[in-house]
A and B are shown apart, each in its own frame.
Chain A
Amino acid sequence: MAGRQIDPDRLPHGTYLNTGQNAMQGLKVNRLCYDLRKQSERDAFLADPEARMQHYELAEADRELIRVRDWLGLVKRGANVFPLLRLSQLCGDGLAGTGAQMRGQTLEQYLATRQASGK
């Protein structure tokens, strides 16, 4: 994965690039999230998340991370933030809430670091 443009071992702390093994490992979770563009898929996930995770053949590790809404854990396993936001928002965490959790903060703690209310 190393090249002249990226030093994978010297990325800023808390940065995970979509590439190589992570990109391949994340494909199934990303596909589930990608399909949440459709209302029918959102309805199906909310009605029976286990059945949808089975349908997409997710690894058990990913299923557990989704059950406990561990967005950072999913990113670390290769989920890309843009499709992932469809899932986190469907589960009730907005962009700021999703981000706060990834920082290890509450929504209020994160917003206190900002210069706007985020409302």
Chain B
Amino acid sequence: MARIIGGMGSPHAPSIGALIDAGDWDSPEWKTLMDGYRPMQDWLAHHKPDIAILIYNDHVTSFFFDRYPTFALSVAAEHPIADEGFGPRPLPPVRGDWHFAWHLAHSLVEDEFDLTICQDMPLDHGALTPISALWPDHSKGWPTAIVPIAVNVLQFPVPTPRRLFRLGKALRRAVESYPEDKKVVILGTGGLSHQLHGERFGFKNPEWDHEFLSLLERDPESLASLRTQDYIERGGAEGAEVVMWLAMRGALSDNIRKLHVNYHGPLHTGFAQILLEEIGA
């Protein structure tokens, strides 16, 4: 049987991908952020998960508003690197796991998560930033298969915080009903507080971000009970994407330990990383 061994939260800003591509892990202004990936990289290298389920959002790269899925799952064996308008990043195509992904599709739809099933879903910075930061050495290919789920957090109505939390619970049922012996890690991406449009551009709320990180670990139910409006008010309109971290947390049990948390937000966005490990797995 497959099992979930842990969950991680990571930002997905393209500026982080640019630092990685430049080999600039020690830039003085961003060292606190980039160093925050090292314990996560070490944990992944040690535990070697077979599969990572990646909860992210597309930034109007693979999907346009003419027909916009609320949830989209890629079942592809390989995910192309998208060109967002500045040329594709120098990364090899991302390995998927089509067999596991189709199982996920069946299990999630039977659990009433009626996703759009995608066979060709190029990944943009929402997905590539976290995976290139977590697995910086992909010279011999990506060590872990990536199964991406894109969530609409851009065109309202977006799915509710509780819906994302329940998606996580459905993901856990899907993983635990997979007959093969696989180790799975769940990645929630985005955030934390930021707003990138309107006169409120540049809004950040470190106090709320720290409360969010604390509640995520010990009382995620309270985060699931908040409204989308609460997230917009406290963490900015674009920061409301942090509900994607609730899907990660929903997939974990309550028997977890926090191995690592990091926060750094000097510019537009309050960036955070977290690593939660399942104790029983």
A binding-site residues for B, Cβ under 8 Å: 1, 3-7, 10-19, 23, 26-27, 30-31, 33-34, 36-38, 42, 72, 75-76, 80-84, 86, 89-90, 95-96, 98-100, 102-104, 110, 113-118
Contact = CB atoms under 8 A, between A and B. Distances in A.
A118 B61 contact: no
B106 to A, nearest CB: 29
A14 B199 contact: yes
B201 A103 contact: yes
Contacts of A75: 197-198
Contacts of B259: none
Interface string B139-156: 000000000000000111
Contacts of A42: 85
Interface in B121-149: none
Contacts of A13: 199-200
Contacts of B59: 82
B61 A37 contact: yes
Contact of B64 (A30, A90, A100): A30
Contact of B83 (A7, A37, A82, A98): A37
B229 interface: yes
A99 B229 contact: no
- Tell me the interface secondary structure of chain B in the complex: loop
A17 B237 contact: yes
Contacts of A15: 195, 197-198, 200, 232, 237
Nearest to B265: A115
B29 interface: yes
16 contacts: A6-B156, A6-B232, A7-B229, A10-B229, A14-B198, A14-B199, A14-B200, A14-B201, A15-B237, A18-B65, A31-B66, A37-B85, A72-B199, A100-B201, A102-B199, A115-B266
A103 B199 contact: yes
B279 interface: no
A6 B228 contact: yes
Contacts of B227: 4-6
B45 interface: no
B155 A19 contact: yes
Contacts of A31: 64, 66
Contacts of B66: 27, 31
A96 B268 CA distance: 8
B118 interface: no
Contacts of B266: 114-116
Contacts of A98: 201
Contacts of B155: 18-19, 23, 80
A115 B267 contact: yes
B110 interface: no
B199 A116 contact: no
B280 interface: no
B228 A114 contact: no
Contacts of B65: 18, 23, 26-27, 30, 80
Given A31-B64, A42-B85, A102 B198 contact: yes
Contacts of B196: 81, 95, 99
Greatest chain A CB density within 10 A among B29, B84, B85, B199 is at: B85
B215 interface: no
A86 to B, nearest CB: 5
Contacts of B42: none
